């Protein structure tokens, strides 16, 4: 079968090799940070039952169904499977199925593809890679895990050559308690409406609050006043108190949010910002919620989000509350690739090419290459015994810094960037550390 040039399928990114190397570098940094905090790796299946996927919020329009081309006429709705749209729902299912084998609190990280039927646009895809961390416990989860999440993500982002990341944090108890203190009963509807603030603006949000949540104009104005509060320290507490709305749940949420902000400021000043308009769309969040923006890319929204959930997983009368946060790896990289904000020093891992004097010498050249590889030097042998000038051009076009010249009386290696050529022993030679692996750089 032959394939001609076809239009790419929208929303399913395929990175070039150089971009894929950047992605792998980013994943390695994220993974190592997660493991430094004691999170264990996990991978769940790509599919879940439709009932599982649709039980956790308003996601039915986003779910991709999985079925055979020749559908079984006896199949029922209970047999239907869908591709997971996030990693939290399958993680919760995994916990309920394996709780007898797990040690709690259970800390896991998960780096996998997910699928979501959204309209593709810059930085938003239908198939994308997420990197999640979650902590779950049996019955109750101490609040200090909520304060830990931003610290892990902050360390992961600081290990990468990307713009500064600011984690915006809120607590749904603050919002729900405030709305309850105002006398608004349908707090879930108010949350969903306020969550649209950045998309439709305050005037339309106020009108929707009156229309869909039964708010008066005065109540809608106070909801917007709360959403305007934004501080980099714990002063948000005083700003909320100044609105003179009282409710025990509001007080509890303010105290929890203060703990998150103060812990982050002690760990990394400037990492976090209390942003009281943040609500998060998914219905399973019950307390702390996080969203993260990159400086210079704010108009594209969050590239890392999550929160606390009390009721996502349960077995009988036993609940497994948790808190988690997810990095949208493909989303973040897509935005940075679109601005050429990440570069790699060469398009292949190879650090040195063994020049081939003639095809008769190929076996000897392969032995030299094998010796270098055993010592961790990425090496390949030139594809043909062309003139040495063309073999140097072959290396240069791919960004490979060194060419190795074998000889009966000794070997030499040439740095084709500077033109310097020196004698080299295949048993001991190593490239400079910065040339051993491709270097990833940001703007």
Query: What per-residue confidence (pLDDT) applies to 5?
Result: 64
Query: What per-residue confidence (pLDDT) applies to 60?
Result: 66
Is the separation of the CB atoms in 205 and 272 below 8 Å?
no
Parallel, antiparallel, or unpaired: how do β-strands 106-115 and 40-41 relate?
A: parallel
- What number of other Cβ atoms are within 10 A of residue 398's Cβ? 14
Q: Profile the chain (443 residues) by mean pLDDT over runs of 10 residues.
A: 72 94 97 98 95 71 83 69 92 95 97 92 92 97 97 98 97 95 91 87 92 92 95 97 96 98 96 92 85 95 94 90 97 96 96 97 96 97 96 96 93 96 95 96 91
Annotated binding site: 86-88, 116, 130, 134, 280, 284-285
Q: What span, in angstroms and rounded, lies between the C-alpha atoms of 365 and 359?
A: 10
What distance lies between CA 2 and its chain's CA centroid? 36
What distance lies between CA 407 and its chain's CA centroid? 49
Query: What per-residue confidence (pLDDT) applies to 191?
Result: 86
Q: What span, in angstroms and rounded, lies between the C-alpha atoms of 418 and 426?
A: 21
Which domains are assigned to the chain? 17-343 (3.30.930.10), 352-442 (3.40.50.800)
Cis status of the peptide bond prior to 105, with omega within 30 of 0: yes
Please choose, from the candidates 429, 423, 208, 163, the residue with its C-alpha nearest in 3D space to the C-alpha of residue 300. Answer: 163
Q: What span, in angstroms and rounded, lies between the C-alpha atoms of 256 and 321?
A: 16
Question: For every residue of 401-435, which 3-state class applies, written as one string?
Answer: CEEEECCCCCEEEEECCCCCEEEECCCCCCCCHHH
Query: What per-residue confidence (pLDDT) applies to 393?
Result: 96
Q: What span, in angstroms and rounded, lies between the C-alpha atoms of 166 and 389?
A: 50
Annotated binding site for L-histidine: 86-88, 116, 130, 134, 280, 284-285
Please choose, from the candidates 200, 168, 165, the residue with its C-alpha nearest in 3D space to the C-alpha of residue 296. Answer: 165
In this structure, the dihedral spanned by the alpha carbons of residues 314, 82, 44 and 31, taken in order and rounded to 10 degrees, is: -110
Tokens 């006398």 belong to 183
Q: What span, in angstroms and rounded, lies between the C-alpha atoms of 256 and 340?
A: 39
Is the separation of the CB atoms in 42 and 91 below 8 Å?
yes
Q: What span, in angstroms and rounded, lies between the C-alpha atoms of 432 and 377?
A: 11
Query: What per-residue confidence (pLDDT) applies to 351?
Result: 98
């Amino acid at each position: 079968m032959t394939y001609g040039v076809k239009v790419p399928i929208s929303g399913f990114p395929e990175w070039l090799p150089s971009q894929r190397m950047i992605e792998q570098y980013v994943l390695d940094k994220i993974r190592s940070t997660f493991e430094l905090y004691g999170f264990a790796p996990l991978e769940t299946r790509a599919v879940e039952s439709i009932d599982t996927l649709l039980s956790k919020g308003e996601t039915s329009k986003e779910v991709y169904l999985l079925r055979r081309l020749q559908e079984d006429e006896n199949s029922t709705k209970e047999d239907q499977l869908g591709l997971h749209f996030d990693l939290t729902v399958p993680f919760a299912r995994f916990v309920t199925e394996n709780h007898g084998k797990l040690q709690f609190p259970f800390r896991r990280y998960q780096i996998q593809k997910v699928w979501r039927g959204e309209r593709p646009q810059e930085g938003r895809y239908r198939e994308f890679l997420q990197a999640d961390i979650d902590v779950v416990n049996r019955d109750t989860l101490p609040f200090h895990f909520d304060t830990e999440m931003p610290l892990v993500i902050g360390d992961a982002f600081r290990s990468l050559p990307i713009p500064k990341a600011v984690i915006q944090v809120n607590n749904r108890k603050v919002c729900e308690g405030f709305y309850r203190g105002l006398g608004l009963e349908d707090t879930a509807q108010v949350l969903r409406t306020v969550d649209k603030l950045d998309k439709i603006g305050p005037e339309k949000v106020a009108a929707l609050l009156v229309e869909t949540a039964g708010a008066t104009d005065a109540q809608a104005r106070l909801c917007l006043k709360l959403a305007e509060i934004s501080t980099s320290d714990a002063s948000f507490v005083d700003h909320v108190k100044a609105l003179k709305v009282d409710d025990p749940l509001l007080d509890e949420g303010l105290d929890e949010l203060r703990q998150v902000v103060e812990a982050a400021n002690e760990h990394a000043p400037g990492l976090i910002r209390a942003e009281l308009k943040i609500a998060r769309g998914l219905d399973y969040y019950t307390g702390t919620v996080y969203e993260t923006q990159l400086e210079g890319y704010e108009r594209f929204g969050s590239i890392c989000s999550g929160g606390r959930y009390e009721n996502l997983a349960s077995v009988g009368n036993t609940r497994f509350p948790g808190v988690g946060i997810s990095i949208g790896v493909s989303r973040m990289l897509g935005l940075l690739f679109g601005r050429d904000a990440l570069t790699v020093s060469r398009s292949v891992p190879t650090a040195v090419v063994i020049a081939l004097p003639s095809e008769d010498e190929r076996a000897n050249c392969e032995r030299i290459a094998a010796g270098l590889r055993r010592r961790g030097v990425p090496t390949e042998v030139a594809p043909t015994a062309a003139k040495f000038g063309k073999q140097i051009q072959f290396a240069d076009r791919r960004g490979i810094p060194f060419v190795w010249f074998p000889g009966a009386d000794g070997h030499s290696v040439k740095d084709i960037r500077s033109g310097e050529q020196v004698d080299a022993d295949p048993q001991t030679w190593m490239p400079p550390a910065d040339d051993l692996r491709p270097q990833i750089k940001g703007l």
